[in-house]
C-alpha cells in the first residue's frame, strides 16, 4: 500500500516565493483598477510599485508626455537607459545587480519604458509592464476625450466614445489575463482546473482582440491615423495571417496564388494585416466545410489587388453595397454566425486610407470573393 493511502491526494505545493509574488501581483492589479486616471499616472504608479513590491528604485518613462517619473536612488545614466529601452522597444534583466528593464507596449507599439531594481521574476516584471502600459493608454485616451469635449459634430463624439469604451475594457481584460497566468505559474492545479484556466485565458484573448479592433476602428475613422508605409512582401504577409487563423481555417483547402513570386505592396503593414485577417477570417466563417478558400494577389494597372474567394452562402444584391457599412450584418447570417459588423468597415477604411478601395462579387454558383486594391508604390493615389 503506498504511503499516501488514507491521507488523500497530495498536490505539489508551489514555492512560497511564487505564492508571495502572485499575491503581490494580485494586489497591484486591484490597486491599478482604482487609480485616478484623470491625473498623471506616473507618480501614482511609482509609489504603488515601491509600496507593494518593495523595490529599491523605480523609474518610468511616459513617451507621450515625454516625462520620467522616478523613486529611489538612480545614477545619471538612468534616463538614457529608459529612453534606449523605449526607442529600441527592448527588454532585459540583469540579475547580478537586481535590475529589470521593460518596454511598455500597446500591441506592437512602444509607448514608454520602466526600470525596476529589486527581486522579482521576469514573468512578474512582464505583467507589471503590461499593466503600466494599459494605465498610460487609459490616461491618454481620457486626455484626448477632454480635448475633444467641445467638438460639436456627432461623428467626432461617437468616435471618442467608442475609443474610450474600448480602452475601459482593456484594463479588466489585462487583470484577468494576469490572474490566469499567476494561477498557472503557481501550479498545483488539477487537470480540470487547468482546463478551466486555459479556457478563461483563451476567451479573454478573444475579447482583447475585439477591443483592439474597436480601437482601430475609432482611430481610423477619426482621420488622425498616421500611415507608416513601406514595401511589404505579399507572400510572407499572407503566410503570417493564415498562420494566426489556423484554428479558423482547419479543415479547409487554402490556396494562395501570387501573380509573381516576389510581389510587394507599399502599405502600413499593421493595417494591411488587419484587413487581410478580416477577409480571411470571414471566408473561414462562411465557407462550406471542407471547401477551398483561394487567396490571390495580382497587379492591375497602377494597383495591387488582393482577393479572398470562398464557396458558401451568396450575398444578396441589395446587401452588397452595405456589407462594408459599420455594424451592418446580412439578415440571412446575422443569427447563425457570430460577428459584430465592424471588421469589414475597418477593411474599407484601411484600403481608402491607402488611396485604394474594396468591393465584392457574389454568386450562388461561383461563390463569393472580397477584393481590396492598393496603389502601387510611386503611383498616384485615388483622389489625389
Q: Give the CA angle between residues 87, 91, 96 to the nearest 5°.
A: 130
For 111, the grid coordinates are 509607448
Measured CA distances, 290 to 240, 253, 286 (Å): 22, 7, 12
For 56, the grid coordinates are 529599491
The secondary structure of 19-45 as a DSSP string is: HHHHHHHHHHHHHHTT--TTS-HHHHH
Q: What is the radius of gyration, based on Cα positions, of the chain?
A: 24
Q: Is 304 part of a structural domain of the chain? A: yes
> pTM of the full predicted structure?
0.48
Query: Rounded to 5 degrees, what are φ and ψ at 91?
Result: -140, 145
Of 122, 83, 126, the residue nearest 105 (C-alpha): 126
Distance of alpha carbon 283 from alpha carbon 310, whole angstroms: 6
Helix, strand counts (H, E) of the chain: 10, 12
Distance of alpha carbon 62 from alpha carbon 68, whole angstroms: 6
Burial class for 262, CB neighbours closer than 10 Å (0-12, 13-18, 19+)? exposed
Q: Is 59 part of a structural domain of the chain? A: yes
Distance of alpha carbon 98 from alpha carbon 93, whole angstroms: 8
For 126, the grid coordinates are 512582464
Strand partners, 300: 303
Q: Are residues 61 and 152 in the same domain?
A: yes
Q: What is the pLDDT of residue 220?
A: 63
Q: Are residues 210 and 348 in the same domain?
A: no
Largest CA distance in the chain: 84
End position of a domain, from candidates 221, 246, 261 = 221
Q: Are residues 217 and 307 in the same domain?
A: no
Q: Are residues 217 and 233 in the same domain?
A: no
52-76 b/e (C-beta count within 10 Å ≥ 16 → b): bbebebbbbbbbeeeebbbbbebee
Measured CA distances, 97 to 73, 94, 100, 116, 376 (Å): 14, 6, 9, 11, 52
The separation between CA 359 and the C-alpha centre of its own chain, rounded to angstroms, equals 26
Q: What is the pLDDT of residue 31?
A: 87
Measured CA distances, 253 to 65, 225, 261, 307 (Å): 49, 36, 21, 16
Q: Is 2 part of a structural domain of the chain? A: no
Q: Is 7 part of a structural domain of the chain? A: no
Q: Are residues 195 and 311 in the same domain?
A: no
Distance of alpha carbon 60 from alpha carbon 247, whole angstroms: 38
Q: Are residues 338 and 193 in the same domain?
A: no
Distance of alpha carbon 366 from alpha carbon 261, whole angstroms: 26
Distance of alpha carbon 135 from alpha carbon 45, whole angstroms: 9
Answer yes or no: are the C-beta atoms of 303 and 375 closer than 8 Å. yes
End position of a domain, from candidates 200, 221, 242 = 221
Q: Are residues 315 and 341 in the same domain?
A: yes
Structural domain count, the chain:
2
Whichever domain contains 63, its CATH number is 3.30.450.40
Answer yes or no: are the C-beta atoms of 294 and 242 closer than 8 Å. no
Q: Is 21 part of a structural domain of the chain? A: yes
Element (H, E) at 218: helix 191-221
Q: What is the pLDDT of residue 81?
A: 92
Q: Are residues 296 and 154 in the same domain?
A: no
Answer yes or no: are the C-beta atoms of 353 and 220 closer than 8 Å. yes
Of 233, 236, 183, 177, the residue nearest 209 (C-alpha): 177
First to last CA, the chain: 84
Q: Is 9 part of a structural domain of the chain? A: no
Q: Are residues 304 and 248 in the same domain?
A: yes
Q: Are residues 71 and 210 in the same domain?
A: yes
Whichever domain contains 314, its CATH number is 3.30.565.10
End position of a domain, from candidates 183, 198, 221 = 221
Q: What is the pLDDT of residue 231?
A: 93
Q: What is the domain range of residue 80? A: 16-221
The separation between CA 330 and the C-alpha centre of its own chain, rounded to angstroms, equals 27
Neighbours of 277 (CB within 10 A): 21
Each residue's pLDDT tens digit in the chain (384 positions)? 444 444 444 444 456 678 888 889 999 988 887 787 778 899 999 999 999 999 999 999 998 888 999 999 999 889 999 999 998 888 999 999 999 999 999 887 889 999 999 988 999 999 999 999 988 888 887 766 655 444 444 455 455 555 555 556 667 777 887 888 878 777 778 888 888 888 888 788 777 776 766 666 656 655 556 678 999 999 999 999 999 888 889 989 999 999 988 899 999 998 899 899 989 998 998 899 999 999 999 998 889 999 999 998 888 887 877 888 766 666 555 444 554 556 788 888 889 989 999 999 998 899 999 999 999 875 555 544
Q: Is 11 part of a structural domain of the chain? A: no
Q: Is 6 part of a structural domain of the chain? A: no
For 292, the grid coordinates are 477551398
- Report the interhelical angle of 269-286 vs 234-244 (nearest 10°): 50
Q: Are residues 255 and 306 in the same domain?
A: yes
Q: Are residues 203 and 271 in the same domain?
A: no
Backbone φ/ψ region at 110: left (φ over 0), alpha (ψ -120 to 50), beta: beta
Amino acid at each position: 500500500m503506498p504511503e499516501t493511502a488514507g491521507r488523500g491526494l497530495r498536490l505539489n505545493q508551489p514555492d512560497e516565493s511564487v505564492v508571495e509574488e502572485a499575491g503581490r501581483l494580485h494586489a497591484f492589479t486591484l490597486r491599478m483598477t482604482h487609480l485616478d486616471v484623470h491625473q498623471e499616472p506616473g507618480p501614482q504608479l511609482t509609489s504603488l510599485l515601491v509600496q507593494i513590491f518593495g523595490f529599491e528604485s523605480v523609474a518610468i518613462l511616459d513617451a507621450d508626455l515625454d516625462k520620467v517619473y522616478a523613486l529611489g536612488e538612480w545614477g545619471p545614466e538612468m534616463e538614457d537607459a529608459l529612453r534606449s529601452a523605449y526607442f529600441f522597444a527592448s527588454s532585459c534583466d540583469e540579475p547580478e545587480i537586481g535590475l529589470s528593464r521593460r518596454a511598455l507596449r500597446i500591441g506592437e507599439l512602444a509607448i514608454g519604458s520602466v526600470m525596476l531594481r529589486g527581486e522579482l521574476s521576469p514573468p512578474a516584471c512582464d505583467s507589471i509592464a503590461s499593466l503600466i502600459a494599459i494605465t498610460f493608454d487609459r490616461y491618454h485616451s481620457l486626455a484626448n476625450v477632454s480635448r475633444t469635449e467641445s467638438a460639436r459634430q456627432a461623428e467626432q463624439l461617437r468616435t471618442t466614445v467608442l475609443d474610450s469604451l474600448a480602452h475601459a475594457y482593456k484594463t479588466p481584460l489585462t487583470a484577468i489575463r494576469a490572474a490566469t497566468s499567476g494561477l498557472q505559474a503557481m501550479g498545483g492545479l488539477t487537470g480540470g482546473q487547468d482546463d478551466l484556466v486555459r479556457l478563461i485565458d483563451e476567451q479573454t484573448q478573444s475579447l482583447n482582440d475585439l477591443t483592439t479592433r474597436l480601437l482601430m476602428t475609432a482611430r481610423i475613422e477619426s482621420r488622425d491615423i498616421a500611415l507608416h508605409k513601406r514595401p511589404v512582401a505579399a507572400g510572407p504577409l499572407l503566410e503570417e495571417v493564415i498562420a494566426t487563423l489556423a484554428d479558423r481555417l482547419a479543415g479547409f483547402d487554402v490556396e494562395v496564388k501570387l501573380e509573381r513570386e516576389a510581389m510587394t505592396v507599399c502599405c502600413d503593414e499593421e493595417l494591411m494585416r488587419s484587413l487581410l485577417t478580416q477577409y480571411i477570417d470571414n471566408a473561414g466563417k462562411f465557407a462550406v466545410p471542407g471547401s477551398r478558400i483561394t487567396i490571390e494577389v495580382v497587379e492591375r494597372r497602377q494597383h495591387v489587388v488582393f482577393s479572398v474567394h470562398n464557396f458558401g452562402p451568396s450575398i444578396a444584391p441589395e446587401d452588397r453595397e452595405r456589407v462594408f457599412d459599420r455594424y451592418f450584418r446580412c439578415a440571412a447570417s446575422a443569427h447563425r454566425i457570430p460577428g459584430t459588423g465592424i471588421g469589414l468597415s475597418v477593411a474599407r477604411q484601411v484600403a481608402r486610407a491607402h488611396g485604394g478601395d474594396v468591393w465584392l462579387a457574389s454568386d450562388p454558383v461561383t461563390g463569393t470573393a472580397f477584393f481590396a486594391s492598393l496603389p502601387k508604390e510611386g503611383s498616384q493615389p485615388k483622389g489625389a
